Amino acid sequence: MTVTERSTLSIASRDLDADVLVIGGGPAGTWAAISAASQGARVILADKGFCGTSGATAPSGTGVWYVPPDPARRAKAMNSRWDLGGRLADPAWMRRVLDRTYENVNLLADWGFPFLDDGAGGQVRTSLDGPDYMRLMRKRVKAAGVRILDHSPALELLRDASGAVAGATGIRRQRGDVWTVHAGAVVIATGGCAFLSRALGTNVLTGDGYLMAAELGADLSGMEFSSSYAMALANGSVTKTRFYDWAEFTYADGSPIPGAASKGGRSAIARTLGSGRAVYARLTADAEEQRAMRHHQPNFFLPLDRSGLDPFTDRFPVTLRLEATVRGTGGLRLVDETCATTVPGLYAAGDAATRELICGAFTGGGSHNAAWAMSSGFWAGAGAAGHARAHRGRGAVRSGGLGLRDGARGPIDAQALIAAVRGEVLPYEHTYQRHGDRLSASLSRLDGLWAGLHGADAATRAEAVRTREGIAMLATARWMYRSALARTESRGMHKREDFPGQDEAQRHHILSGGLDEVWTTTAPAASPAHEVLAA
């Protein structure tokens, strides 16, 4: 196979062949690799960092949407998110994910995962310790015969003459050279996009998979559901927000912030921070609750302990960190139960794929995202293996565009690009407190940034990764804001100040795509609005 040469990426120094290439080494990617290998496929997994330690799950604990197959408990679990998610979830997918998650979590137990004792002779299987989880998953990936390329970010996909995906190419960070993998199918498991907001584990989550898939023509869905901000200690990165349900919030002088402790209090906190005023929190919990909190989420307390702060007696400053599509629900659109995208041979899993199917318009952060990662990864890996057996294109050309072509207009200043995108996305009044006028103005500036990149190249091969990250974040922001403008209502996490009500006529999905010209359209929700999620 030949690969068209570009200035930034010359002919690969490592040229490999596989049936299935998995891009991303978090929970979704590792489950996909194991699943594809179990089907007899030759699998390569390429991770931007070190598979097992990079990504949002590896440094944290996470809940899991693990519900035993009791009809009443399953129905209750599904109904708990039905209205919260604006009735955009798909009950059939919810049931599938509950089934698959139950099987996969039990498989983790068979593999020796150290679940906590429930005190009654059983195990607590509704939460996973991130370091133990990902350490075990790397071990199982290697045991399955999968070849792992660590510190090897993908920069662009390959396509064959028919337009189907045919592999990918990227850079090996530690060697500074280029790799290419020719494959019959590819799984995008690169996570979501948090715009380098410093939320724990999200430094590698910059929307790369969205960009690479869109360059082949893939669609996205639900990108308006991307306004998730998580609370953290000021200047900290740990965004475990559950414990803030026990918090009282005050100004610097100790006076309470009106509305901050109520349902929807995050808006009051965002307004206060946006005005330039500091916000302080203090947790109120009895001794038994304090012990339980420290046991279940030790990461939450680590930065506080290091700062000499007792969160149960001391007021401590907090901030909000954007997690966007990592804790949101938007992502690549799936067209069938194998987690296939609109591009032949290209599959998506985890946060790279839309989670509207099980969460609708409300965050899938934590348990639902964890269940989705292991379920969609399992299905995507199997689907990719099946596709690779039946299809193998001839020849391969690179599909990447901006940042990888001959730089007739000179090099791209990656850091300046990233700063400009973050300036449009991180402010609360742009992404959290949305208004059509502000969205339109910001989108105009983002479109101008995109147009200005044509004909430019990464400054050096070493800068190619950061350049593509900036371009991916720019593309993600444009899909987010175009979709947010198209949804002229407030539903789930998407809140419009100019359209504060929910409009049942808009109980549909917003699809988006395109690069030079971003487009949106609608697609019907999967089930009627009046459906009761019966057992």
As a whole number, mean pLDDT of residues 401-424 equals: 84
As a whole number, mean pLDDT of residues 103-127 equals: 93
Structure tokens at 423: 């300036």
Per-residue model confidence as pLDDT tens digits over 421-456 = 999 999 988 888 899 999 999 999 999 999 999 877
- The reply to whether CATH 3.20.20.60 applies to domain 13-226+324-397 is no
Above 70 in pLDDT, residue 9?
no
Q: Which segment, 360-374, 398-412, 521-535, is predicted with the most confidence on average?
A: 360-374
Amino acid identity of residue 107, one-letter, is: L
* Distance in angstroms (rounded) separating the CA atoms of residues 339 and 380: 5
> What band does 104 get if pLDDT is binned at 50, 70 and 90?
very high
As a whole number, mean pLDDT of residues 185-205 equals: 95
Per-residue model confidence as pLDDT tens digits over 292-304 = 888 777 888 988 9
Above 80 in pLDDT, residue 420?
yes
Percentage of the chain with pLDDT > 90? 73
Looking at residue 297, its pLDDT comes to 78
For domain 228-322, give the fold.
Flavocytochrome C3; Chain A, domain 1 (3.90.700)
Per-residue model confidence as pLDDT tens digits over 458-506 = 877 788 999 999 999 999 999 999 999 999 999 999 999 999 999 999 9
Looking at residue 7, its pLDDT comes to 46
Amino acid identity of residue 30, one-letter, is: T
As a whole number, mean pLDDT of residues 189-210 equals: 95
**What are the structural domain ranges in the chain?**
13-226+324-397, 228-322, 414-524
> What band does 1 get if pLDDT is binned at 50, 70 and 90?
very low
| Predicted TM-score of the model (pTM) | 0.93
Above 50 in pLDDT, residue 2?
no
DSSP string of 417-475, one letter each residue: HHHHHHHHHSSHHHHTSB-HHHHHHHHHHHHHHHHTTTT-EESSSTTHHHHHHHHHHHH
Looking at residue 118, its pLDDT comes to 84
Amino acid identity of residue 312, one-letter, is: F
Q: Which residues contact 192 (CB under 8 A, 6 or more apart)?
A: 205, 207, 323, 324, 325, 326, 327, 328, 331, 351, 352
Average pLDDT of the chain is: 91
Looking at residue 4, its pLDDT comes to 39
* Distance in angstroms (rounded) separating the CA atoms of residues 54 and 47: 8
334: which DSSP letter?
P
Looking at residue 6, its pLDDT comes to 44
Per-residue model confidence as pLDDT tens digits over 493-526 = 999 999 999 999 999 999 999 999 999 999 999 8
51: buried, middle or exposed (CB in 10 Å: 19+, 13-18, 0-12)?
buried
Structure tokens at 193: 């996009």
> What band does 218 get if pLDDT is binned at 50, 70 and 90?
very high
Above 60 in pLDDT, residue 531?
no
Looking at residue 450, its pLDDT comes to 96
Pick the more confident residue, 7 or 246: 246
Per-residue model confidence as pLDDT tens digits over 50-83 = 999 999 999 887 889 999 999 999 999 999 889 9
Per-residue model confidence as pLDDT tens digits over 299-354 = 889 889 999 999 999 999 999 999 999 999 999 999 999 999 999 999 999 999 99
Per-residue model confidence as pLDDT tens digits over 135-190 = 999 999 999 999 999 999 999 999 998 899 999 999 999 988 999 999 999 999 99
Q: What is the Cα Rg of the chain in Å?
A: 22
- The reply to whether CATH 1.20.58.100 applies to domain 414-524 is yes
3-state secondary structure 295-330: HHCHHHHHHHHHCCCCCCCCCEEEEEEECHHHHCCC
CA distances from 235 to 95, 209, 232, 523 (A): 40, 28, 8, 41
